[in-house]
Amino acid sequence: MSQFTDPKRLGKSGAIVARCLDEGRPALVAYFPVGYPSVDDSLEVVKAVVEGSQGRGADIVEIGIPYSDPLMDGLVIQHATTRARERGVRVSDAFRAVEAVASKGATPMVMTYWNLVEAYGVDAFARDLSAAGGAGIITPDLPPDDCPEWFEASDAHDVDRVFLIAPSSTDERIRMTMESCRGWVYASSVMGVTGVRDKTSDAAPVIVERARAADPTLPVGIGLGVSNGEQAAEIGSFADLVIVGSALVKTMGSDGRDMAGDLVKLRELSDDLAAGVERARR
């Protein structure tokens, strides 16, 4: 049985992770930006990544909101989000994607840079996310000690707060960040931007170990670089969540010109990743 049992710490998304761990595997988390190749296309993508081709895909879907200055995003995601912005994606479209994911039985979350939440209105964003069925927000650029309005809004509307830790984080910073989270903590396994990598980072098990030493009551997710089922199994052998982004976005290589073909590739990759997390703890 999972060691994560405190419902106040787990929130909605952490409860899903605990359920997956009780099944003997980590949770699979898929990232995809709303609006790419178009808003309607992206809604089909997030549904397909949950379904796979065998009825088994992502447990949690991170819906990215395209941003004008994506500090952490690699070239694949930068290209996709630039195209989405050129085609008129709006913040409110993220809530449509949240509803699409929820309709398939997976847990939707939003990953966004904080300026977009502030521009929308912090309380209004939390309210509308919750109303659409969203579990919480991952905020890569938001320090947990500089956002009292977010704690107030997330508590008021019962949405999870997922902050990031990195290999450069001090032990004190890791502890403080994890205490501020509800749901799980996002551990970046490399310094720098996101992107597909040939092999996973040697720092990944180290940052997970440091996080668990700081706070054993919160699940730890690893992102940055996972691109196939073999890597998902490797990361899932020690992390509680395996997070995949650029590899999924890359399957939409036709930029909407061959959505049927791209969705086949996406479903096949989702199957491979799901199989990877299934064998991760065996």
Neighbour tally for 255: CB within 10 Å: 15
CA proximity to 154, closest of 133, 134, 139, 136: 136
H-helix or E-strand containing 30? strand 27-33
Indicate if 73 belongs to the active site: yes
Looking at the DSSP assignment, which residues form a beta bridge with residue 64?
33, 111
> Which residue of the set 51, 59, 73, 240 is catalytic?
73
Indicate if 62 belongs to the active site: yes
Give the three-state DSSP class for 85.
helix
Q: 225 vs 30, 228, 275, CA distance in Å?
A: 12, 9, 18
Residue 83 CB contacts under 8 Å (≥ 6 apart), including other chains: 35, 36, 37, 255
> Which residue of the set 41, 62, 128, 160 is catalytic?
62
Three-point CA angle 28, 93, 253, nearest 5°:
60
Check: CB of residue 89 under 8 Å from CB of residue 66: yes
CA proximity to 154, closest of 132, 184, 130, 187: 130
Handedness of CA 125, 84, 12, 195 (dihedral sign): negative
| Token pair of 28 as six digits | 């699979």
Phi, psi of 230 (to 5 degrees): -60, -45
Neighbour tally for 180: CB within 10 Å: 18
Residues marked as catalytic: 62, 73
